[in-house]
Amino acid sequence: MTGSNPDISDGSLLEVGDLHYRYSDGTVALRGANLRIARGEKAGLVGPNGSGKSTLLMCLSGLFNGEGIVRIEGVPVSGARSPEVRGRIGLIFQNPDDQLFMPTLADDLAFGPINLGLDAAEVRARVREAATAMGLADMLDRPPHHLSMGQKRNAAIATVLAMRPAILLMDEPSSNLDPRSRRRLIEVLQELDSTMLIASHDLALVERICSRVLVIDNGTIAADGAAGSILGNAALMERYGLAG
């Protein structure tokens, strides 16, 4: 089924209604996208190149200011409360080096909690919790640039987990990973008790992690349903350029 317009809050954790975004050069990236994500849901976002996946994530996180409705836990992402609200949305970029910039991994994991104004004991607890969740507890003293690509990917996710966001937004989390690192990432994401929206061309990863899949095409949600019914629909996959 296609997404509906969430013009009135219905208790969904994330609500998006009639969302539009145009780049400064005039390129229209989103054309009235609508979706809802429930608390605890793991949803995949798939679509051809240029369909609007990354732009949608940027708008949901508040990094891009689109036109339309974006609410997290019933509160608009834009506006006076946006810094507080954006802390409830964790965005993991496609390139982990965009999120790892401190001298040690521990410093990177502590950066977000410190900026939330948490005390030192709580910061240490969150660093340890996030590192353990991502299998990095014995690497906290390492410089991030000494980590493997798979470890960097896990570290980028851990920096966001340390903020304890309400939802994780992931942009191509398996890109540039070797097969072993990819398998480990899938296992970790399956185990995480977090609400997720994962934008990816890796349909096998989406199928293993997500119970629901949304197809985005030409800046709008073109299909939305159970992962099996969407990914197993050969005609639909062919129509939107997703067939293998």
Residue 30: in which H helix or E strand, if any? strand 28-37
Find the CATH number of the domain harbouring 61: 3.40.50.300
Same domain for 150 and 45, yes or no, is no
Same domain for 82 and 177, yes or no, is yes
Predicted confidence at residue 78, as pLDDT, reads 80
What token pair was written down for 202? 């890796």
Same domain for 84 and 170, yes or no, is yes
Same domain for 83 and 12, yes or no, is yes
Residue 239 contacts residue 16 (beta carbons within 8 Å): no
Predicted confidence at residue 152, as pLDDT, reads 95
Last residue of a domain, one of 164, 192, 217: 164
- CA–CA separation, 191 vs 230, rounded Å? 23
Same domain for 3 and 80, yes or no, is yes
Same domain for 152 and 208, yes or no, is no
Look up the domain containing 131 and give its range: 94-164
Same domain for 197 and 233, yes or no, is yes
Same domain for 99 and 179, yes or no, is no
Cβ atoms within 10 A of the Cβ of 218, count?
A: 15
Report the number of distinct structural domains present in the chain. 2
Last residue of a domain, one of 164, 182, 214: 164
Same domain for 68 and 172, yes or no, is yes
Same domain for 170 and 98, yes or no, is no
CB burial class (10 A; 0-12, 13-18, 19+) of residue 125? middle
- CA–CA separation, 12 vs 39, rounded Å? 7
Last residue of a domain, one of 146, 164, 182: 164
Same domain for 41 and 145, yes or no, is no
Predicted confidence at residue 4, as pLDDT, reads 44
Same domain for 149 and 217, yes or no, is no
Q: Output the pTM of the full model.
A: 0.90
Which residue numbers in the chain have pLDDT < 70? 1-11, 79-83, 244
